[in-house]
Amino acid sequence: MNESRAALRYAKATLNLAIEQKATDAIDGDMRDIVQTISDSDELKDMLQSPILEGSSKNKVLKVIFKNINDVTKELFTLLVSKKRIALLNEVAAKYISLNDNLKGENVAMVTTAVPLTPSLEKKILAQVEKITSNKITLENQIDESIIGGFILRIGDLQYNASISNKLNNLKREFTNSI
C-alpha cells in the first residue's frame, strides 16, 4: 500500500472517532498544530523519519511537544507508533484537515502561478471553482516561477495543470516520441 493511501486511511479512522466523540474541531486544531510544527522543524521531521530511534521514544517526544492535545490525537500517535507508521504523522494530519474541511463543506484550492494573482483574477478563479465544487472555497496562491506562466489548480485530489512549462514538456514528449 502506498504511503498516501495509508495516511488517508488513518485520517479517515481518526475523523470517524472524532465524529463519534464530537471532537472534530478540537482534533482539527491539534492536526493544524502538528502540520505547522512539523513543517517548521527539520529536527522533528528527521526524528519521525529516523529508523534508528525507537517508536516509544518518538511517542514520548511527541506527547511532550504536543502536551495539550485531545486524547484521540494521543491515541493516533500510539497507533502510528505501534504500526511503525509514525513517519506518516504529518501526512495523516494534513489529510485529516482536508477530510474535515470537506465534511464541513469547505475546500482549499491551491493555485500555483508564476506571479502573484491580482484581486480581480482571484475573484474570477474563486467563482469558477465554487461553481465546479459547489462548496465554500478558500483560495491559496503559491508562487513558482519555474512554471513560466499559466497556473496549476489543486482542489483536494484533483489537479488541473495549465502551466506553460507543462505544455512545453508535453510538446517535448511528442517530438521525442515522433522521432
Q: What is the DSSP string of 163-177?
A: -HHHHHHHHHHHHHH
Instruction: Give yes or no for residue 157 having a pLDDT over 80.
Output: no
Model confidence, pTM: 0.69
Rounded to whole angstroms, the Cα distance separating 141 from 109 reads 9
Among residues of the chain, what percentage have pLDDT more than 90? Answer: 69
Q: Taking the CA atoms of the chain, what radius of gyration do you get in angstroms?
A: 19
Report DSSP state, residue 70: -
Neighbours of 107 (CB within 10 A): 19
Instruction: Give yes or no for residue 1 having a pLDDT over 70.
Output: no
Decide yes or no: CATH 3.30.70.20 for domain 3-102.
no
Neighbours of 14 (CB within 10 A): 25
pLDDT at 147: 93
pLDDT band at 145 (very low <50, low <70, confident <90, very high): very high
Region of residue 167 (left: phi > 0; alpha: psi -120 to 50; beta: else): alpha
Sign of CA pseudo-dihedral 111, 100, 12, 94: positive
